[in-house]
Structure 1
Amino acid sequence: MTTTELVRPRGAVRAFRSGGLSRSASFWFIGALYALFLMASTAPSPMYSIYQQRWGFTTTVLTEVFAVYAVAILAALLLFGSLSDHIGRRPVLLVAVVLEIVSMLLLAFAPAVGWLYAGRALQGLATGVATSAISGSLLDFQRPGTNRGSLVNGVAAAFGMALGSLLAGALVQYVPGPTLTSYLLIVLGLAVAIPGVLAMPEPVAHRSKLREVLRPQRPTVPAGKGLAFALMATTLLASWIVGGMFMSLGPSVAKGMVHGSPYLIGGATVAVLAGFGGLSQLVLSGVDARRAVRIGGPVMVLGLAGVATSTVEHQPILFFAAAAVLGTGWGVVFMGGMRMLTGLASPEHRAGTSALIYVVAYLSAGVPSVALGVVSTFFGLTAATVVFASAAALFAAIAVTSTYLHR
Structure 2
Amino acid sequence: MTAPEVALDRPVRAPRAVLAPHRAFWFVGALLALFLMASTAPSPMYAIYQQRWDFSATVLTEVFGAYMIGILAALVLFGAVSDRIGRRPVLFAALLLEIVSMLVLAFAPDVGPLFLGRFLQGVATGAATGAISGSLLDFQPPGSSRGATFNGVAAGLGMALGSGVAGLLVQFAPAPTMLAYLLLIVGFVIALPLVWLMPEPVRDPIALRRALRPQRPGVPAGRGKAFALLATTMLSAWTIGGMFMSLGPSVAKSLVDGTPYLIGGLAVAAMTGVGAAAQLSASGWLGQRAVRVAAPTLIVGLATVAVAVLNGSAATFFAGSAVVGIGWGLMFMGGFRLLTALADPDNRAATASMIYIVAYLSATVPSVLLGMLTTYAGLTTSTIVFAAIAALFATIAWAGTYIRH
TM-score of the two chains, using structure 1 as the length reference: 0.91
| Structure 1 range deviating more: 65-74 or 385-394 | 65-74
Once the two structures are superposed, residues 350-401 of structure 1 have per-residue CA deviations (whole angstroms, 9 ceiling, x without a partner) of: 7665554333322211010000000100011111110100000011112111
| Structure 2 unaligned spans of 5+ | 1-10
* AA partner of residue 301 (structure 1): I
Q: CA deviation at 1:80?
A: 1.1
Instruction: Supply the RMSD in Å over aligned alpha carbons.
Output: 2.3
**Which of 322, 325, 334 is the equivalent residue of 1:324?**
322
The yes-or-no answer on 1:131 pairing with 2:108 is: no
Distance, in Å, in 2 between the alignment partners of 1:16 and 1:141 is 17
Q: Which residue of 1 aligns with 2:242?
A: 244
State the secondary structure of the residue aligned to 2:270. Answer: helix
Q: CA deviation at 1:211?
A: 2.1
* AA partner of residue 294 (structure 2): G
Distance, in Å, in 2 between the alignment partners of 1:29 and 1:178 is 29
Closer/same/farther in 2, CA of residues 92 and 344 from structure 1, 3 Å limit: closer
**Which of 201, 204, 215 is the equivalent residue of 2:202?**
204
| Structure 1 range deviating more: 287-296 or 347-356 | 347-356
The yes-or-no answer on 1:253 pairing with 2:251 is: yes
After TM superposition, list the pairs within 5 Å mapping 1:226-375 onto structure 2. 228-344=226-342, 354-375=352-373
Cα pair 1:228 1:406 within 8 Å, conserved: no
Once the two structures are superposed, residues 256-277 of structure 1 have per-residue CA deviations (whole angstroms, 9 ceiling, x without a partner) of: 1111211111111111110111
State the secondary structure of the residue aligned to 1:207. Answer: coil
Q: Which residue of 2 aligns with 1:7?
A: none
Closer/same/farther in 2, CA of residues 40 and 348 from structure 1, 3 Å limit: closer
**Which of 111, 114, 117 is the equivalent residue of 1:116?**
114
Closer/same/farther in 2, CA of residues 33 and 342 from structure 1, 3 Å limit: closer
| Structure 1 range deviating more: 334-343 or 51-60 | 334-343
Closer/same/farther in 2, CA of residues 312 and 181 from structure 1, 3 Å limit: same
State the secondary structure of the residue aligned to 2:277. Answer: helix
Q: CA deviation at 1:328?
A: 0.3
Q: CA deviation at 1:219?
A: 5.4
Cα pair 2:149 2:333 within 8 Å, conserved: no
State the secondary structure of the residue aligned to 1:303. Answer: helix
State the secondary structure of the residue aligned to 1:189. Answer: helix
Distance, in Å, in 2 between the alignment partners of 1:85 and 1:197 is 16
Q: CA deviation at 1:225?
A: 5.7
Number of aligned pairs?
A: 395
Distance, in Å, in 2 between the alignment partners of 1:330 and 1:95 is 31
| Structure 1 range deviating more: 143-152 or 118-127 | 143-152
Q: CA deviation at 1:339?
A: 2.6
* AA partner of residue 43 (structure 1): A
Q: CA deviation at 1:23?
A: 2.8
Cα pair 2:157 2:272 within 8 Å, conserved: yes
Cα pair 1:16 1:203 within 8 Å, conserved: no
Q: CA deviation at 1:346?
A: 6.4
Q: Which residue of 2 aligns with 1:8?
A: none
Distance, in Å, in 1 between the alignment partners of 2:59 and 2:120 is 17
- Percent identity between matched residues is 60
